[in-house]
C-alpha cells in the first residue's frame, strides 16, 4: 500500500497548521484587495517552504517532489493562489540549483530559499503559449561579457514584485534548440513591466507583462549553455505541473470541507440537507474524484523523484486529472451552498475562481492530453 511516511505526515501537518493560521483567515481579504502577502510567504520560507526540493548544500530543504506535493496541497487549503505562487517560486529556485553554475547558485539560491528575494518564471509570450518553442524574445551577444534581451513575456506571476526573473530567450535559430535561459534581476536597465492584469482569480499574486528593451544581462547569468533553455524549461515544468495539481487538490478539499459544514447546519423540509441521499452521493463523488487524483499525483511525484522514463507522461496525466478534480469539487461545493456559495463571505466562490486557471497554466489540459497521446503512439 502506498502511504505517507511519518516524516511526510509531519510535513503535511506543519503546512496545514500554517495554512489554517496564516493563509485561511486572510485569503478573502487578500483576494478582494488584490494584496500580495509577501510577509506571510517569507514566514512560510522560514519553515523551509521557499526552496523545498533544492539541495540542502545550496540552502534548500532537500526534500522530494512527493514531499512538495504534500506540502502544496496542504498550503492550498488556506489559499490556492498564494500557494500556487509559492510553487512557481520553488520551481525557479530548483532550476537554478539544478542547471546553474556554482556562482549562480551561490548568488541567487540562498536569498530565494529565504524569500528575501522573490522570483518569477518567464516562458509564455503574447503569441507563444502552448507552442512555447515558438517564443520570439531574443538575446544577442554584446561583446564577451553580456547579452542584450528584447521581447515581451505574458501572464507572469509575481512580475513587478519579484526580484529575479528566469527568462527564456532565443539565442539561436527557430525551434526548441535555439532557446537559452537567463536570470534577469529587477532594476536591470531596459527591464519594465506592464499593468497589473485584471483577472478572474489568483488575485493574491500580481500578473503582469515582463518587457525587455535592450536589457543588458551579464553573460554569467546564462543558465547552463546556449541552446539548452527549452530542455531546462521542460524539466522544470514536470515538477511545476505536480505542484499546480497539488494546489488544485488542496483547494478542492477546502471547498468540500466548507460544503460539509454548511450542509450539516442548513435545514430544508425539516431536516439538515446532508441527510438527503442525492446530496450525499454528490459529496461521495467529490471525495472519490479527489482521492483518485491524489493517488495518481503521488505516483507521478514518486516517478519524477526516481527519474523513471514515464515520469513526464505521468506528470501530464496527474496535472490533468488533479486540476479537473479540484475545480469540479469546488464548483460542486458552490452549487450545494446555493445562493450562499455565490457570496464572497463563504469563501467557495474564490476557490472556484482561483482553480479555474489551474486547468490552463503549466500547459493547458489539452496539451497534457497531447503529451499522453504522443507517448501512446510512440
Among 305, 135, 316, 159, which Cα is nearest to 242's?
Answer: 316
Among 182, 167, 304, 285, which Cα is nearest to 243's?
Answer: 304
> Catalytic one among 43, 116, 362, 366?
362
**Which alpha helices (DSSP H) does the chain contain, by range?**
6-18, 27-33, 38-46, 65-76, 80-99, 102-113, 229-265, 277-306, 311-336, 348-356, 365-377
- Alpha-carbon span 335 to 128, nearest angstrom: 36
Among 89, 116, 67, which Cα is nearest to 236's?
Answer: 89
- Alpha-carbon span 146 to 140, nearest angstrom: 9
Among 346, 314, 316, which Cα is nearest to 330's?
Answer: 346
Q: Is 207 helix (H, G, I), strand (E, B) or coil?
A: strand
The answer to whether 225 is a known catalytic residue is no
φ, ψ of residue 272 in degrees (nearest 5): -60, 140
Residue with cell 506592464: 194
Residue with cell 525551434: 175
Which H or E run includes 1?
A: none
- For the record, the C-alpha cell of 348 comes out as 467557495
- For the record, the C-alpha cell of 321 comes out as 486529472
Residue with cell 534581451: 149
Which residues are part of the catalytic machinery?
A: 362
Amino acid at each position: 500500500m502506498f502511504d505517507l511516511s511519518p516524516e511526510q505526515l509531519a510535513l503535511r501537518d506543519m503546512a496545514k497548521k500554517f495554512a489554517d493560521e496564516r493563509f485561511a483567515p486572510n485569503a478573502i481579504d487578500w483576494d478582494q484587495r488584490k494584496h500580495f502577502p509577501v510577509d506571510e510567504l517569507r514566514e512560510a520560507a522560514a519553515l523551509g517552504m521557499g526552496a523545498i526540493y533544492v539541495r540542502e548544500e545550496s540552502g534548500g530543504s532537500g526534500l522530494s517532489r512527493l514531499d512538495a506535493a504534500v506540502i502544496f496541497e496542504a498550503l492550498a487549503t488556506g489559499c490556492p493562489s498564494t500557494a500556487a505562487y509559492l510553487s512557481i517560486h520553488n520551481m525557479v529556485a530548483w532550476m537554478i540549483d539544478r542547471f546553474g553554475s556554482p556562482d549562480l547558485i551561490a548568488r541567487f539560491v540562498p536569498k530565494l530559499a529565504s524569500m528575501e528575494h522573490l522570483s518569477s518564471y518567464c516562458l509564455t509570450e503574447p503569441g507563444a503559449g502552448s507552442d512555447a518553442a515558438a517564443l520570439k524574445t531574443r538575446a544577442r551577444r554584446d561583446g564577451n561579457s553580456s547579452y542584450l534581451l528584447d521581447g515581451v513575456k505574458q501572464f507572469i506571476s509575481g512580475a513587478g514584485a519579484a526580484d529575479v526573473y528566469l527568462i527564456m530567450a532565443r539565442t539561436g535559430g527557430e525551434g526548441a534548440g535555439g532557446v537559452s535561459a537567463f536570470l534577469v534581476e529587477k532594476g536591470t536597465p531596459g527591464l519594465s513591466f506592464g499593468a497589473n492584469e485584471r483577472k478572474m482569480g489568483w488575485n493574491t499574486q500580481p500578473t503582469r507583462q515582463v518587457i525587455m528593451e535592450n536589457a543588458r544581462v551579464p553573460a554569467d547569468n546564462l543558465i547552463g549553455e546556449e541552446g539548452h533553455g527549452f530542455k531546462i524549461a521542460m524539466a522544470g515544468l514536470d515538477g511545476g505541473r505536480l505542484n499546480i495539481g497539488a494546489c488544485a487538490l488542496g483547494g478542492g478539499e477546502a471547498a468540500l470541507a466548507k460544503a460539509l459544514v454548511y450542509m450539516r447546519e442548513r435545514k430544508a423540509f425539516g431536516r439538515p440537507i446532508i441527510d438527503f441521499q442525492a446530496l450525499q452521493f454528490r459529496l461521495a463523488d467529490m471525495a472519490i474524484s479527489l482521492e483518485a487524483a491524489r493517488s495518481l499525483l503521488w505516483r507521478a511525484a514518486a516517478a519524477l523523484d526516481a527519474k523513471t522514463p514515464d515520469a513526464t507522461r505521468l506528470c501530464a496525466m496527474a496535472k490533468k486529472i488533479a486540476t479537473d478534480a479540484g475545480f469540479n469539487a469546488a464548483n460542486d461545493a458552490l452549487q450545494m451552498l446555493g445562493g450562499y456559495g455565490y457570496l464572497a463571505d463563504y469563501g467557495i466562490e474564490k476557490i472556484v475562481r482561483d482553480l479555474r486557471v489551474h486547468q490552463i497554466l503549466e500547459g493547458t489540459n489539452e496539451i497534457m492530453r497531447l503529451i499522453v497521446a504522443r507517448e501512446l503512439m510512440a
